[in-house]
Amino acid sequence: MPTWRAIRQHMYELAAADGHVLGEVWTIASGSATTAVVTALASGGLTAQEYVGRWLIRPNAATAADRERRITAFAPSTGTLTHAGSNWADTTFTSEFCEISLARLNILDNAINRQLKRTRKHDFYRFPTVPGIHRYPLAGPIHNLDWIT
């Protein structure tokens, strides 16, 4: 089963394919307690207001408290995203991705939950029984019952 992060990334891709920007996924090169540096964003052509007001999501942060911050400043020359929230306790950005999103993390995850609930299906299989018989051999097409949970 895909992870929440993988599902959110797919949501961003689907929105982009329709011409909408919901979010982006980038690799964090480095950072500090109040910044994350995404060198891929230092390509020029972006304004200092490009990402201000969006949500910086770190889905792989060590603690839940470090997973989401509001971006308050962006330096396009270096790709530095700054937040004014509480300092990150986890400042190890090794091989970490971030999401820059228009929506908060809980809103995205709630949308995923709602869709999963809509797609849930109940499957029923009726076993024919005979009165007075308490044991049935399960030979034939249903002999492997690993699918029963």
Residue type at 1?
M
Query: How far apart (Å, rounded) are the C-alpha atoms in residues 92 and 129?
Result: 60
For residue 128, what are the CA distances in angstroms to 86, 125, 136? 62, 10, 10
Residues 15-56 pLDDT 10s = 988 888 899 999 999 999 999 999 999 987 899 999 999 999
* pLDDT greater than 70 at residue 143: no
Query: How far apart (Å, rounded) are the C-alpha atoms in residues 12 and 22?
Result: 6
Residues 56-79 pLDDT 10s = 999 888 888 999 999 999 999 999
Q: What is the mean pLDDT of residues 7-14?
A: 90
Cβ atoms of 71 and 52 within 8 Å: the answer is yes
Query: How far apart (Å, rounded) are the C-alpha atoms in residues 128 and 88?
Result: 60
